[in-house]
């Protein structure tokens, strides 16, 4: 497969803002990923969660299924995704970290609060990239939003479960600013998307999403990738997702079967 060429302007936008739209980048993979999602819903992993209030439609989350769901596996190893990440992060090698399914059914009232992903994870490093791939048409007013430039703030904010409990209470974390109360003070990014569009964003970029008060579901799969400078982070407690079988030590490169080297292949 020939490697895609990402325009320098897109690379610059990713590095400056920490989030960029890749319009139609994986349109050829939308049907494959939709088939994988349907399999995932039929065969959820033990980590799958359904977040909903009484009488609400579900908000489904699941992760770390790429090695058992063939459609996800094919995307990881056969699509140009890792090559795209290599260009965006200026990396000579790219490893798979995990994938994360996020599906909010029509009428789901659960908001995704502002957060960073990296404090949840067992990794440190700047050359990180999630490819959030839309499987449905999502209008701008229902889209995930990103705080442009927040990946450069040098802060790590407390990771929280939807229950309101901290994922890891052994660390001293920063407190998120009141973004919703001062939206005019931030560069808030968001895009209308179609199936196969992707949003690339850094693990440290602050983002959040509204409730799905529409009449249509909002489904996406985010594939998380690790570039050259990423190392294992021992947080001294729980991470999400957990990787209980790892033997890596703090500061080690992410050389483990759980994180296969995908690019170059």
Q: What is the pLDDT of residues 87-115, one digit of tens each?
A: 999 999 999 999 999 998 888 777 889 99
Question: What's the pLDDT band for 176 if we cut at 50, 70, 90?
Answer: very high
Q: Specify the pLDDT at position 57.
A: 63
Query: At residue 1, does pLDDT exceed 50?
Result: no
Rounded to two decimals, the pTM is 0.94
Q: Specify the pLDDT at position 214.
A: 85
Report the mean per-residue pLDDT for the chain.
Answer: 93
d(CA 192, CA 187): 17
Contact of 122 with 256, CB cutoff 8 Å: no
Contact of 76 with 262, CB cutoff 8 Å: yes
Query: At residue 154, does pLDDT exceed 70?
Result: yes
Q: Specify the pLDDT at position 196.
A: 98
Question: What's the pLDDT band for 162 if we cut at 50, 70, 90?
Answer: low
d(CA 209, CA 157): 17
Rg of the chain on CA atoms, in Å: 17
The neighbour count for residue 29, using CB atoms within 10 Å, is: 22
Question: What's the pLDDT band for 129 if we cut at 50, 70, 90?
Answer: very high
Q: Specify the pLDDT at position 83.
A: 97
Residue with tokens 């909903």: 52
128 CA to centre of own chain: 10
């Amino acid at each position: 497969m020939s490697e895609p060429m990402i325009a320098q302007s897109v690379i610059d936008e990713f590095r400056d803002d920490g989030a960029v739209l890749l319009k139609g980048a994986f349109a050829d993979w939308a049907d494959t990923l939709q088939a994988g999602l349907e399999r995932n819903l039929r065969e959820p992993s033990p980590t799958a969660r359904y977040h909903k209030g009484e009488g609400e439609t579900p908000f489904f989350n699941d992760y770390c299924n790429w090695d058992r769901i063939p459609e996800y596996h094919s995307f990881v190893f056969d699509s140009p995704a890792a090559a795209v990440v290599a260009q965006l992060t200026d990396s000579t090698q790219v490893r798979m970290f995990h994938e994360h399914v996020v599906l909010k059914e029509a009428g789901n009232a659960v908001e995704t609060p502002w957060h960073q992903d990296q404090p949840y994870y067992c990794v440190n490093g700047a050359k990180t990239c999630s490819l959030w791939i839309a499987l449905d048409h999502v209008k701008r007013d229902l889209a995930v939003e990103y705080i442009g430039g927040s990946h450069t703030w040098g802060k790590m904010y407390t990771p929280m479960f939807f229950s309101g409990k901290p994922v890891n209470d052994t660390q001293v974390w920063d407190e998120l600013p009141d973004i919703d109360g001062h939206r005019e003070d931030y560069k808030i990014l968001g895009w209308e998307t179609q199936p196969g569009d992707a949003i690339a964003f850094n693990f440290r970029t602050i983002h959040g999403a509204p409730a799905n008060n529409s009449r249509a579901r909002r489904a996406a799969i985010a594939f998380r990738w690790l570039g050259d400078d990423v190392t294992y982070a021992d947080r001294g407690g729980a991470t999400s997702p957990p990787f209980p079988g790892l033997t890596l030590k703090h500061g080690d490169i992410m050389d483990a079967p759980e994180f296969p080297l995908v690019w170059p292949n």
